[in-house]
Chain A
């Protein structure tokens, strides 16, 4: 395709592409996101493609390999339009039936439909599925319409019209004003008002400015950014272009973490395609705006999600944060004014420009506007990516969308905000998804990760897990973080291994307070949060570990014993053979016994037992 030299040429291209697709009767959208690929969607995609070709349908039926649809637990997933038919757990062998029946004749294949776990009924369309129905999928729904490796798809879906609007009709000050009025706040965790950040950067002295997209997404359990960047990279690029025009930058970077190879690949393709069409480069669409983007890869460091560490990494240095006495909007990348925003923040910009700030501000609460993508995972039935309007109660997300706990267990808490966040107990689930309300409760929203925990999750173990993670990821420069986290972990390890003393809880709190106030960067400052919230809401679990040497959830190895229930054991011998430590004895058809001295609590026997006869005490 040749370079577009004006907005009009872009509109002509859009019309032409739409006309070309008028003959397409049916579209099959198969999810090619990392989650579904892990479940085998690559083979499904190939099978459908081959089958369409075999039946001579490749001209009238469009196979669109999309980014993540969000319902990863059900993968591989596909949607067929018209009809909005939703199939899940699709395998390559189903290709023939899908093409012959649903694509050709519009007939639905019952066994591939989603079964509602509550009612037990089959649901035909995507829009009826309870998981999707309670959501407000402003950003995620766009993933269904585009193949991330096709700029044509993005243009057909209306892409880059926000860019033409700003280049033709909006001065930088107007754009910043719109973003300010929308109430958009950073989606990466900080929740800083985006409009204010842009205006501070625009006002900073200097001609050389940068925009950066933070796609480092290090919070374990969070993959919203991966989904948006993998599935719709042009949306993010368009947001960055609008931001660059507003603040006066002519160069941008997308910093993608090393662990997301597909996101790196798709972003690179998107940039190449945009350059080809002249949407990146000199005099974009014939205007005075010149802007280009480079993709920078992370090196495997959670701390590089911190803005100054990220910028150091782009500059080719170690990702060590520096003190932010002067903010990065004034002194950032290469010591120039830099606007760094999260993937989801950038992705929200085009729709704010197109639909207006009041549209965006009409959703959400007083302090938190718009929608938020959450990564709902852990011990619930429906895991995946969820997009809801701010203000939605946590309860709705966990129970109505998430479907409640697994296997009849009780939900105990939800962990939000990754290692910087905290745990919210189930009696606080009426709180809304809102930056300030959740921060106040001690469990900041962070980037949107929500890990659900049930009665079999030990909250002391959760605090230990996060401290271990942060100790690993700390850059090690400053004393409070390096030594403070180490000592907190030492105390918590004592507690989980039965050596805890009551005075250690006070020391833990004091140390946590010191670290949070004196650490150099955000990683250190928020490191104590998981400890502080679990102490605040689940102190009884800590006390049980210390005073009774007991782990109520049955997790801490030093405090539990594996037992075989003689009433349930059939003497089948599977566990005996599976045990690598020779800890199980028993004759055929007789109840087996575990020798506590030899048992290493590795969990193999429990995972192999078909009669649920092994329990933890």
Chain B
């Protein structure tokens, strides 16, 4: 038996299913909250920090990730204040400066309003979103890959760096990885990295209506809950 609670998101009163996260609820109702590490059928870890919202409590607003915040009766959430948009933009800027060679990350940057990248570009091939690790552990229960090391050394690897025999090469990890979606013009060589945003996708229009779902290609290829 589903229980319902009423929450206010950006002023709209929404009837949400109790036990769902604010993020799932918002997406279902067509309010776009950009996210990267969230996948509808995997656990939420709050790692990418893109889905941050303002949770208004006792007159104060706390900034928290909507994927880890569960709906409760009377909750007041703001997803697109100037403050949130600026913070989200800065986080997206960090991501695209780290890994510009992914169309998904470039699209996220565009969606979050990144106009310039003020850091030297790097060309990493992993943003540590953890989607691969979680699908291997939670859906297939194999735990053939995981996070290894700490801080700057943190990376995804097999045990001892060698593929174990209990990895059945199902390909789920590759399917979910944002880095496998390369930029339209092809991979950027080191030294040639740039902020993309030349694509004529709906995301260009979306800049004017940042909180509305526009059924973007990014979400489709990316497993956004709206498409599920």
Contact = CB atoms under 8 A, between A and B. Distances in A.
Interface of A: 301, 303, 318, 322-323, 325, 471-480, 482-484, 486-487, 490, 507, 510-511, 514, 517-520
Contact of B49 (A325, A474, A520): A520
Given A323-B46, A471-B151, A518-B52, A482 B128 contact: yes
Given A477-B47, A479-B95, A487 B150 contact: no
Given A325-B69, A518-B91, A482 B152 contact: yes
Given A325-B69, A487-B119, A507-B118, A479 B152 contact: no
Contact of A480 (B94, B119, B154): B94
A510 B90 contact: yes
A476 B150 contact: yes
B214 interface: no
Interface residues of B, number: 33
A318 B151 CA distance: 12
Given A478-B46, A478-B48, A519-B49, A323 B65 contact: yes
A106 to B, nearest CB: 57
A322 B65 CA distance: 12
A483 B153 CA distance: 12
Nearest to B130: A477
A25 B155 CA distance: 64
B29 to A, nearest CB: 21
Contacts of B147: 318, 476
A572 B161 CA distance: 56
A486 B49 CA distance: 16
Interface pairs A-B: 3 shortest CB-CB: A476-B154, A514-B90, A474-B151
Nearest to B127: A479
Contacts of A473: 150-151
Contact of B154 (A325, A482, A510, A511): A482
Contacts of B94: 479-480, 483-484, 487
Interface string B66-107: 001110000000000000001100110011011000000000
Interface of B: 45-50, 52, 63-65, 68-70, 86-87, 90-91, 94-95, 97-98, 118-120, 127-128, 147, 149-154
Given A472-B152, A476-B147, A476-B153, 15 more contacts: A322-B46, A323-B65, A325-B64, A325-B68, A475-B154, A476-B149, A477-B47, A477-B128, A477-B154, A479-B48, A479-B49, A484-B94, A486-B152, A511-B90, A518-B63
A477 B37 CA distance: 11
Contacts of A471: 151-152
Contact of A325 (B70, B87, B95, B153): B70
A617 B70 CA distance: 58
Contact of B46 (A474, A507, A511, A520): A520
A514 B87 contact: yes
Contact of B91 (A301, A474, A490, A514): A514
A487 B49 CA distance: 17
Nearest to B63: A517
A507 B128 CA distance: 24
A510 B118 CA distance: 11
Contacts of A520: 46-47, 49, 65
A483 B95 CA distance: 8
B63 A472 contact: no
A393 to B, nearest CB: 32
Contacts of A323: 46, 64-65, 68
Which of B64, B70, B94, B120 gathers the greatest number of chain A CB atoms within 10 Å? B94
A505 to B, nearest CB: 12
A478 B87 CA distance: 14
A484 B94 CA distance: 7
A475 to B, nearest CB: 6
B49 A518 contact: yes
Given A325-B64, A514-B91, A478 B69 contact: no
Nearest to A519: B49
Contacts of A484: 94
B119 A490 contact: yes
Contacts of A303: 150
Given A301-B150, A473-B151, A478 B47 contact: yes
B64 A472 contact: no
Which of B45, B68, B94, B151 gathers the greatest number of chain A CB atoms within 10 Å? B151
Contact of A476 (B50, B64, B70, B151): B151
A309 to B, nearest CB: 11
Nearest to A489: B152
Nearest to A303: B150
A476 B152 CA distance: 7
A322 B127 CA distance: 19
A322 B70 CA distance: 15
Contacts of B63: 517-518
A486 B153 CA distance: 12
Contacts of A480: 49, 91, 94
Contacts of A517: 63, 87
A476 to B, nearest CB: 3
A477 B95 contact: no
A483 B98 CA distance: 8
A325 B153 CA distance: 28
A318 B133 CA distance: 15
Contacts of A482: 128, 151-152, 154
24 contacts: A323-B46, A323-B65, A325-B68, A476-B147, A476-B149, A476-B153, A477-B47, A477-B128, A478-B48, A478-B49, A479-B49, A479-B91, A479-B94, A480-B49, A480-B91, A483-B95, A483-B98, A487-B97, A511-B90, A514-B90, A514-B91, A517-B63, A517-B87, A518-B49
Contacts of B152: 471-472, 474, 476, 482, 486
Contacts of B50: 479
A299 B118 CA distance: 37
Contacts of A519: 49
A469 to B, nearest CB: 10
Contacts of A511: 90
Nearest to A515: B90
Nearest to B55: A325
Contacts of A325: 64, 68-70
B203 to A, nearest CB: 20
A85 B49 CA distance: 59
A518 B151 CA distance: 17
A472 B151 contact: yes
A482 B128 CA distance: 10
B119 A518 contact: no
A519 B95 CA distance: 14
A196 to B, nearest CB: 15
Nearest to A483: B94
A273 B151 CA distance: 40
A502 B128 CA distance: 32
A472 B154 CA distance: 11
A143 to B, nearest CB: 35
A514 B91 CA distance: 8
A477 B153 CA distance: 11
